[in-house]
Chains A and B, each alone.
Chain A
Amino acid sequence: MDLDFRVPLIRERLESFRLVVPVASPKGGVGKTTVASALSLLLAREGIPTGLLDADFTNPTTHVMLGLDAESITPEEEKGVLPVRVEDKLEFMSPAFYSKDKPLPLRGHETVDALRELLAVTRWSSRILIVDSPPGLSDTLLELLRLHRDSRVLIISTCDEMSLLSTKRMIDFLAQEGLRSIGIVANMCNECSKIQGRLNTSALACLPLIEGFQRLEGNRDKVLEALGTGLEAVKYRIISLL
């Protein structure tokens, strides 16, 4: 009998967190990486030991938001690998540390294999794990939710009709699977009431469109300055779950 030998250790590692939060959306371009990065910084600077995993294997970019040069960083080896300490309370792991910012074309089962490998060997020490997931009901997201059913998904949505439809699909999917969500972050929205009108639930946080936000990418202080206040409600919701 062939076994996937990594699964029991992965479950043990994930259960060591008080909370695992996949940041997800069925639609691309809504700001998952931005929110995952800003939220991780906000929690870490609140003094909560926070881990951030970039699980977008075919296009990891979280390191760019955090201002890290993936080409020059290799995580330290110690009975596995240690995530990179970005700040005093913030640990970070990314496939970009190994793909070195080159293209990484993976087919479905390979993405799952890569995720399992990284989850099995990474030795986190944080209380909470934020996972920046790729767009869609992807193999990565499905596998993470299969491995850790207690995950609490943070849904990111913009307020246009395509995104709202996608968000509704995500909400329906989670409900059908018996999985839980932390709530919805409405990003780049000037009319958050659309969330209530279309989805019959209110957004936990509403972040406006910030002109020139791209200029802040890589500057952690500026990213947090721009988004930290808007994400306070998410921070408190997460703290209440720890």
Chain B
Amino acid sequence: MHEWALAEAVARTVEELVVKGRDVREVEVVLGELQAVDEGVFELALKELFEEMRREKGIDVQGFKITREKAAFKCQVCGHTWTLEEWPVKEEFREAVHFVPEVVHSHYSCPRCGSRDFEITAGRGVKVRVI
């Protein structure tokens, strides 16, 4: 369950902010489409970790919400822009991209010119916003 490590990283970040005196009321976690994080598993892990943090360290996060962001790409060579809906990553490579999104450059290329030198402009992976 790779999602556990991502949730653990979010929990550690919140803990560090609270320890440094920041008032963390709510956390927004943005799941980028490219990394294809399992939202159910991630949410379960994060709930468990926040509960553990409340029980063991007295740190109480009032709530969190999960939102999703569509992935988008721009070719550095020809300037073409596209989305995963228009040009999907082949099924056989999705697991590798799930673990390290940057390896998409090994298994995917610009649908117009074929270059692997493209930019992930949105929806790479997990992002955290503290409210």
Q: A8-B9, A8-B13 are in contact. Are A102 and B107 (CB under 8 A)?
A: yes
18 intermolecular pairs with C-beta atoms under 8 Å apart: A1-B129, A3-B130, A5-B128, A9-B12, A12-B12, A80-B2, A80-B4, A81-B5, A98-B99, A104-B102, A104-B105, A104-B106, A105-B105, A107-B76, A107-B119, A114-B102, A117-B101, A121-B2
Question: Which residues of A are in contact with B by a Cβ distance under 8 Å?
Answer: 1-3, 5-10, 12, 57, 74-75, 77-81, 95, 98-100, 102-107, 110-111, 113-114, 117-118, 120-121, 123
Contact partners of B2 in chain A: CB under 8 A = 77, 80-81, 121
Q: Mark B1-23, 1 if CB is under 8 A from A, else 0.
A: 11011101110110111000000
Q: A80-B4, A99-B103 are in contact. Are A117 and B128 (CB under 8 A)?
A: no
Q: Mark B90-131, 1 if CB is under 8 A from A, else 0.
A: 000001110111110111000000001101100011111110
Contact partners of A123 in chain B: CB under 8 A = 5
Contact partners of B97 in chain A: CB under 8 A = 98
A102, B124: Cα distance in complex, Å: 20
Q: Which label, helix, strand, loop or mixed, suits the secondary structure of the B interface?
A: helix
Contact partners of A3 in chain B: CB under 8 A = 13, 17, 128-130
A121, B124: Cα distance in complex, Å: 16
Chain B contact-residue range equals 35 or more
Partner of B116 from the list A2, A78, A95, A103 (CB cut-off 8 Å) is A103
Partner of A80 from the list B5, B96, B117 (CB cut-off 8 Å) is B5
Closest chain-A Cβ to B37's Cβ sits at a distance in Å of 12
Closest 7 CB pairs of A and B: A80-B5, A114-B102, A102-B106, A99-B106, A8-B12, A5-B128, A9-B9
Closest chain-A Cβ to B29's Cβ sits at a distance in Å of 8
Closest to A78 in B: B1
Contact A2 B129 (CB under 8 A): yes
Q: Mark B66-104, 1 if CB is under 8 A from A, else 0.
A: 000000000010000000000000000001110111110
Contact partners of B15 in chain A: CB under 8 A = 8
Partner of B105 from the list A74, A75, A106 (CB cut-off 8 Å) is A106
A99, B119: Cα distance in complex, Å: 17
Contact partners of B127 in chain A: CB under 8 A = 2, 5
Closest chain-B Cβ to A176's Cβ sits at a distance in Å of 28
Closest chain-A Cβ to B33's Cβ sits at a distance in Å of 16
Partner of B9 from the list A95, A104, A113, A120 (CB cut-off 8 Å) is A120
Contact B124 A113 (CB under 8 A): yes
A2, B12: Cα distance in complex, Å: 15
Q: A80-B4, A100-B96 are in contact. Are A117 and B130 (CB under 8 A)?
A: no
Contact A105 B5 (CB under 8 A): no
Contact partners of A57 in chain B: CB under 8 A = 102
Contact B102 A110 (CB under 8 A): yes
